[in-house]
Homo-oligomer: A and B are copies of this chain.
């Protein structure tokens, strides 16, 4: 059975460790973290070590730490020639120390400590330097998710930018909407069915076709009325920028 060890103690490390621990196709060998106490409440607590020299021989090591720490963690590993992958969307494979065989396992999802995630649905973007290692990495990935994609570093970085638009920026628009609701004393919860439907719709309809609203209709009286209701220049700037972009796209699609 494939033996996997995790390095890290954050959200991604915890979700991955739990997923591997629950899989019957892979053995979670160890979890290494300098902050052993962060993981003591978890079901795999007995496998946690804070001694880097106490790391046993695994088939795959998954470094799930912050982007800026990946390089130094990979350099500090006290072994060579083993398969080591990181989990970042934006860090190149080449950031990993070349003394080990290198790869990437990037789970494309937003992880919070408080939210349960069905890991079996999380898309995993895989990359290996040596094509021979792809079989092993895929085997480990398939043990925890039904959604596996091979891509190179450039494609993975593009996915990461796309995810910033589709998730980080989207969430910020939710925050702005919530602020408007508060300012005009209406409950933000009213918007939730609309938000869920907008997100669900695009699984059936390409987002370009799903577009609605005053920008698309070039409904100037409504656009002006909206701008007049917005509380500050930042709101107005975002409203104008996105309205203009929708209209630009609409034109480009018609031509």
CB < 8 Å neighbour of A226 from B164, B172, B195, B225: B164
List of B residues within 8 angstroms of A190 by Cβ: 108, 123, 125, 147, 149, 159
A42 located at the interface, meaning its Cβ lies under 8 Å from any Cβ of chain B in the complex: no
Contact between A201 and B115, CB atoms less than 8 A apart: yes
Q: Chain B nearest CB: distance from A107 CB in Å?
A: 10
- Bound CA span A178–B163, Å: 10
CB < 8 Å neighbour of A186 from B158, B198, B213: B158
- Bound CA span A212–B234, Å: 20
* Copy count, this protein chain: 2
A254 located at the interface, meaning its Cβ lies under 8 Å from any Cβ of chain B in the complex: no
Interface size counted on chain A using CB atoms at 8 A: 91
Contact between B175 and A117, CB atoms less than 8 A apart: no
List of B residues within 8 angstroms of A205 by Cβ: 112, 114-115
A residues within 8 Å of B by Cβ? 67, 90, 108-110, 112, 114-115, 117, 121-123, 125, 147, 149, 151, 154-155, 157-178, 180-181, 183-208, 210-216, 219, 222, 225-226, 229-230, 234, 237-239, 241-242, 245-246, 248-249
Across chains A and B, which 4 residue pairs bring their CB atoms closest together, nearest first?
A168-B213, A158-B184, A199-B199, A174-B207
